[in-house]
Amino acid sequence: MFKIDLQKFADASIEGLSAQGTTLSYAAHGATSFTTVAGVKTVPAIGGSPQTIDVTALDDDSKKSVAGLQSVSNLAFTTVYKTSNFSALISKADGKTIYDWKVTYPDGMAATFSGSFTLATAQAAVNGAIDFTITVVVSDGPDFTAPSTGTSGS
């Protein structure tokens, strides 16, 4: 069963952590060198919860369940359209090829996962910025890495 001890990520010297400075990056599956995606505006909730398996027997007084497989949702990242960031991704976004992804938070905590992705442009409006969405279909992960000791954020 997948468990996250959030206390391992806590830094007692800070009261919280600003999202400013959070990055999204990707690499060819199995590669070690990641490319940062410029202009990311939102990072979705990352993680999942286990599905439940009903193990209730006819002689039980109440319903019983055990944890099953972890259910992870697709991850949708809203990004400001810049010619360079969209162009760098468009030829890779076939929805089939698996890439490794990493979200790095300002204190150094990271979430890594693998999956294929697609792109979609957002609605265009008068006096509005053009955005696009990177939707990753998670095939493995996420795995969390605690920040190195001695780091802090604000």
Please tell me the class of the 17-46+63-145 domain.
Answer: few secondary structures
49, with CB counted inside 10 A (0-12, 13-18, 19+), is exposed
Residue 16 binned pLDDT confidence (cut-offs 50, 70, 90)? confident
Q: What is the pTM of this model?
A: 0.81
Query: In this predicted model, what pLDDT tens digit does every residue of 20-59 receive, in sequence order?
Result: 999 999 999 999 999 999 999 999 999 888 889 999 999 9
- 143 to each of 35, 72, 103, 113, how far by Cα in Å? 19, 12, 10, 6
Q: For residue 154, what pLDDT is reported? A: 47
Query: In this predicted model, what pLDDT tens digit does every residue of 66-120 receive, in sequence order?
Result: 998 888 889 999 999 999 999 999 999 999 999 999 999 999 999 999 999 999 9
Q: Is the dihedral of CA 11, 12, 16, 20 positive or negative?
A: negative
